[in-house]
């Protein structure tokens, strides 16, 4: 048995849905995808004036360590053409580790739980769809509770 991990995927350039689906398929090389949320159209929040994102959340089971999984995810991003030219800027694919079971990691290169996840509707809405009762190990709240506590704002539109 592996560890249950929760990921957030996003894309806002090119064929966004293709990039998301391709990334999800590639995740199978590093574990077993257990659930995928619907796709959500979301407005950019940090760098305004760029195209809207398509986002989703994924639950997967993996035998990888957090650092190994992060290396795999960066490899998927690179294979799908991700070029890091501007922080929070346009990207073909972005894959973030949100939760890694109840593990807390705080190193210069990796922070789990994701440090901004509890503030981001575009992360919490898709995640709540597939893992409402998953608990944030540092805040002690479920994904549903974190979503309910968010202030209004951040447009997130479920597709299909």
Catalytic choice (16, 94, 120, 121)? 94
Backbone torsions φ then ψ of 2, nearest 5 degrees: -100, -170
Catalytic choice (16, 82, 120, 121)? 82
pLDDT at residue 90 in the model: 82
Token pair listed for 119: 């503030």
pLDDT at residue 84 in the model: 67
Catalytic residue at 96? yes
Just give the CATH number of 3-158: 3.30.70.560
pLDDT at residue 73 in the model: 97
Cα distance between residue 64 and residue 74, in whole Å:
14
pLDDT at residue 85 in the model: 65
94-100 and 3-11: which strand pairing?
antiparallel
pLDDT at residue 96 in the model: 96
pLDDT at residue 5 in the model: 98
Token pair listed for 69: 């999984």
pLDDT at residue 88 in the model: 66
HSE of 64, CA atoms in CB hemisphere, 13 A: 20
Backbone torsions φ then ψ of 53, nearest 5 degrees: -95, 155
Q: How many residues are listed for the chain in this entry?
A: 160
Catalytic choice (26, 96, 120, 121)? 96
Can you give the pTM of this predicted structure? 0.94
Catalytic choice (26, 91, 120, 121)? 91
Catalytic residue at 91? yes
> Chunked in runs of 10, what are the mean pLDDT values of the chain (160 residues)?
94 96 97 98 81 96 97 94 70 94 95 96 97 97 97 87
């Amino acid at each position: 048995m592996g560890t249950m991990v929760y990921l957030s995927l996003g894309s806002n350039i090119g064929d966004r849905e293709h990039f998301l689906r391709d990334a999800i398929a590639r995740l199978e090389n590093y574990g077993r995808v257990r659930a995928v949320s619907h796709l959500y159209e979301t407005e950019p929040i940090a760098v305004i004036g760029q195209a809207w994102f398509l986002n989703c959340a994924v639950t997967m089971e993996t035998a990888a360590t957090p650092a190994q999984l992060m290396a795999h995810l960066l490899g998927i991003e690179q294979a799908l053409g991700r070029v890091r030219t501007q922080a929070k800027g346009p990207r073909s694919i972005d894959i973030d580790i949100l939760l890694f079971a109840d593990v807390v990691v705080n190193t210069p290169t990796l922070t789990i739980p994701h440090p901004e996840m509890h503030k981001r509707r575009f992360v919490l809405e898709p995640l709540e769809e597939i893992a409402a009762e998953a608990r944030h190990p540092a805040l002690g709240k479920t994904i549903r509770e974190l979503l309910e506590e968010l202030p209004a704002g951040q447009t997130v539109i479920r597709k299909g």
